[in-house]
């Protein structure tokens, strides 16, 4: 489904075939991000995709190339994921609020025009985007979010995620995530979906997630668990300040999301008075299962 990033020929360059340019960008003394940028000859705006667990920036490769005729498209690995930096937790907490600061710094250092920016964020990427919107209402023209936990509602969450939120069980849950690495990378994307709507990931994407899992000083599961250490605090802060959010938001959710029930998305959209799209027969990863719908949502945000 998501093919590897290929080297294009000179003939393809002359015909302006889009390609993903992979590089690294330093955010501060502790954080360097691996990123992908797909350039457009005459962009109508910029799109920034933010991935979730256990993904890397390669999750967005297919939709990035599909949008490249009209938009400049960015994606990066969060700290602790892919090949981005993994400072120790005494230097970086991996909290949603810390990720919000990384996002803000990336937009500035990448020289992105915020007035022409759509952010599309899922899973762990979504709350940081909204927290940044609270602080900087003009951070983007639109933020599209989905399949995440904006509020402290553990009963809407998968059992293992509930355990990560509970300090009494968090350490054991973290250990279990690391122990189940192979199962997570193999099965996380198909759980909760009927066989006929399950989808395959490319070997390149799978390999990138596997390579990135244990890259650096802590694993992807360690970073994810550290995110959850501060998750409840940051959820509660967001809910307490929800009425201050001025950045336009759209909510997109998979109807069959096993990890974060669609009721979470319904509540978020109602409280923000935001447009809501519930995608039928779709799980936690709509951008992978139905990439054409993600492309449509992004294009609609610029109209």
Average pLDDT, the chain: 94
Query: Per-residue pLDDT averaged across 25-51, rounded?
Result: 97
Q: Name the H helices within the chain.
A: 10-14, 61-67, 96-109, 126-135, 159-165, 170-179, 181-187, 203-213, 220-229, 231-240, 262-272, 286-289, 291-301
Predicted pLDDT at 265 = 98
Predicted pLDDT at 298 = 98
Predicted pLDDT at 17 = 81
pLDDT class of 61 with cuts at 50, 70, 90:
very high
Predicted pLDDT at 6 = 39
Predicted pLDDT at 8 = 39
% of residues, the chain, pLDDT over 90? 93
Cα angle at 296 between 200 and 63, to 5 degrees?
Answer: 45
10 pLDDT higher than 90:
no
Measure the N-to-C terminal CA separation of the chain; round to a whole number of Å: 28
15 pLDDT higher than 70:
no
pLDDT in tens, 253-285: 999 999 999 999 999 999 999 999 999 999 999
Q: Domain 10-301 belongs to what topology?
A: Rossmann fold (3.40.50)
Q: What is the C-alpha R_g of the chain?
A: 18
Cβ-contact 49, 63 below 8 angstroms: yes
Those residues with Cβ within 8 angstroms of residue 248's Cβ, 6 or more apart along the chain or in another chain:
141, 142, 143, 274
Query: Per-residue pLDDT averaged across 29-50, rounded?
Result: 97
The DSSP secondary-structure symbol of 197 reads: G
Crossing angle of helices 231-240/220-229, nearest 10°?
A: 50
Question: Regarding beta strands 32-38 and 71-76, do their DSSP bridges make them parallel or antiparallel, or are they unpaired?
Answer: antiparallel
pLDDT in tens, 144-188: 999 999 999 999 999 999 999 999 999 999 999 999 999 999 999
1 pLDDT higher than 60:
no
CA distances from 275 to 8, 138, 161, 248, 251 (A): 39, 19, 27, 10, 6
């Amino acid at each position: 489904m998501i093919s590897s990033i290929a080297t294009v020929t000179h003939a393809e360059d002359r015909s302006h075939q889009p390609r993903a340019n992979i590089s690294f960008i330093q955010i501060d003394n502790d954080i360097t991000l691996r990123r992908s940028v797909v350039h457009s000859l005459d962009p109508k705006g910029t799109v920034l995709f933010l991935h979730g667990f256990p993904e890397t920036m390669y999750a967005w490769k297919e939709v990035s190339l599909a949008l490249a005729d009209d938009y400049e498209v960015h994606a990066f690995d969060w700290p602790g994921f892919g090949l981005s930096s993994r400072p120790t937790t005494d230097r970086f907490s991996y909290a949603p609020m810390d990720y919000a600061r990384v996002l803000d710094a990336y937009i500035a250092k990448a020289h992105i025009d915020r007035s022409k920016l759509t952010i599309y964020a899922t899973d762990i990427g979504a709350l940081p985007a909204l927290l940044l919107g609270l602080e900087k209402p003009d951070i983007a023209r639109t933020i599209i979010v989905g399949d995440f936990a904006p509020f402290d509602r553990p009963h809407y969450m998968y059992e293992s995620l509930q355990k990560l939120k509970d300090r009494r069980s968090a350490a054991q849950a973290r250990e279990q995530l690391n122990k189940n690495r192979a199962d997570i990378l193999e099965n996380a994307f198909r759980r909760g979906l009927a066989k006929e709507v399950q989808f395959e990931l490319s070997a390149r994407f799978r390999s990138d997630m596997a390579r990135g899992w244990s890259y650096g000083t802590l694993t992807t599961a360690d970073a994810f668990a550290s995110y959850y250490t501060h998750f409840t605090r940051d959820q509660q802060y967001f809910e307490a300040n929800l009425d201050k959010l001025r950045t336009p938001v759209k909510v997109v959710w998979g109807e069959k999301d096993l990890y974060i029930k669609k009721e979470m998305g319904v509540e978020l959209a109602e409280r923000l008075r935001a447009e809501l799209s519930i995608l039928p027969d779709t799980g936690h990863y709509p951008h992978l299962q139905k990439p054409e719908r993600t492309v449509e949502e992004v294009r609609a945000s610029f109209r």
